[in-house]
Chain A
Amino acid sequence: MGDSEPKVVAFCCTYCAYAAADLAGAMRLQYSPNVRIIKLLCTGKVEPLYLLKAFEAGADAVMVVG
């Protein structure tokens, strides 16, 4: 992927969003390859630093899904 492609980080809850992403795969739904999924046992563990660090690493957009 070239540098022009945006980087998106998705923090996903194991029990819902990650399962939904898994299901999307099983259903052969094509979604943007720009997204990097980070699985969390609970999105309740999301804290400001996680999100800031994603931006520091170069993310152009960050989503929390759960």
Chain B
Amino acid sequence: MIVAERKPFEEIKAMIESCKKVLIVGCGECVSVCMAGGEKEVQILASQLRLAFEEEGKKLEAGETTLERQCDKEYLEEIKDKVNDYDAVISMACGAGVQFLAEMYDSKLVYPALNTQFIGVAEREGEWSERCRACGDCVLADTGGICPVAICPKGLLNGPCGGTNDGKCELSKEKDCAWTLIYNRLDKLGKLDNIRKIFPAKKYSVQTTPGRRIHEAFKEKE
């Protein structure tokens, strides 16, 4: 899933300081699961903003709604009739959702409430870690299912480097050395030979910016 965290409250409050009515729009997908921008977080942010405004002697009408997801037009259309009643919209989706919402309602001020962080997994309740960099050229087949691009801070394909230290990274004792993990996993799988394999220079050209993909079946025929 895409993991995000809420922006500092002060930053969000400053964005809408001059507004009287804001619509806070949550997203029911990834950011719900990582407890950053789902229905509950929408309600909490709305409540916090109302309290903060009222404590300063101002009034804020904060509308609350959570869409199935914000990365599909069908769902974004659901707020079509509501949006015009508000001075601004706060999107609690990932960066993609915020942009799609802003694109559809391009005459409305749309503010982001989250900082999008990474593609990751849930380690336990309330903790997530990065697993994928969306590099466009997956190497997991050779690395025992552990990604050196995402987990090694240097993204080394032919590791480990000289900084590996008792399974930890030289950058931080908190970080695992991806290549130690890979070595141990390959050992377990009886595939240690893989570690001798030299990866050629990585095809960064497939990591296009901006990325775009059209499904084979949907490509326009000549």
Contact = CB atoms under 8 A, between A and B. Distances in A.
A47 interface: yes
Nearest to A51: B47
B44 A56 contact: no
Contacts of B50: 56
A56 B40 contact: no
B129 interface: no
A53 B44 CA distance: 9
Interface of A: 47-49, 52-53, 55-56
B165 interface: no
Interface residues of B, number: 7
Nearest to B48: A52
B32 interface: no
Contacts of A55: 51
Contacts of B43: 49
A61 to B, nearest CB: 14
Nearest to A53: B47
Nearest to B47: A52
Interface in B13-44: 40, 43-44
Most chain A beta carbons < 10 A, residue from B40, B47, B50: B47
Nearest to A52: B47
A52 B40 contact: no
Nearest to B39: A49
